[in-house]
Amino acid sequence: MKKVVIFLILIAGVFAALFFVNKSQTEEKSKGNAYGKSTLRPETVDQLDDPNYQNIILPEELDKKLKAGEDATVYFYSPTCSHCKQTTPVVAPLAKEMDLDLVQFNLLEFEEGWNKYGIEETPTIVQYKDGKETNRIIGYQAKHTFREWFNKNSK
């Protein structure tokens, strides 16, 4: 019986050690991130070095832009969304190719964005003109559909 208890304590210790090592690695990767947060969700940390996720906008920055009556094209996404994982490799390079400033709003890190911007599903791209929403496109689409939408709404 003592052997079983010792064995269970050892297993619990190994799992605890793995948890803390993983947590410290995630915190280390999170340092100096574009989100301005000390702790990020692991799915976001995994995207920090991905070139398709480098045009992050923070809620305060977006609010400032919209209150100032500026134009903005905002890609609302979640790192856990399978449709976003398909869409981002299409729209990020396409926006770059078309010389559009497609800013990315991470709804996993900034959950208040769901209600504040009326987002019902991800991915959603919203066009703002003079600080007001003028159009949106929802869900995964073919590349040519996004191109047409950008041409119509973002130029």
pLDDT tens by residue, 75-85 = 999 999 999 99
Q: Name the burial class of residue 31, with classes exposed (0-12), middle (13-18) and buried (19+) by CB atoms within 10 angstroms of its CB.
A: exposed
pLDDT digits (tens, 9 = 90+) for 56-96: 999 999 999 999 999 999 999 999 999 999 999 999 999 99
pLDDT digits (tens, 9 = 90+) for 1-38: 777 777 777 777 777 766 665 555 555 555 567 888 87
Torsion angle, alpha carbons of 95, 98, 100, 104, to 10 = 0
| Cβ atoms within 10 Å, residue 131 | 13
| Cβ atoms within 10 Å, residue 105 | 24
| Cβ atoms within 10 Å, residue 54 | 13
pLDDT digits (tens, 9 = 90+) for 128-140: 999 999 999 999 9
Give CA–CA dist 44/141, Å, rounded: 23
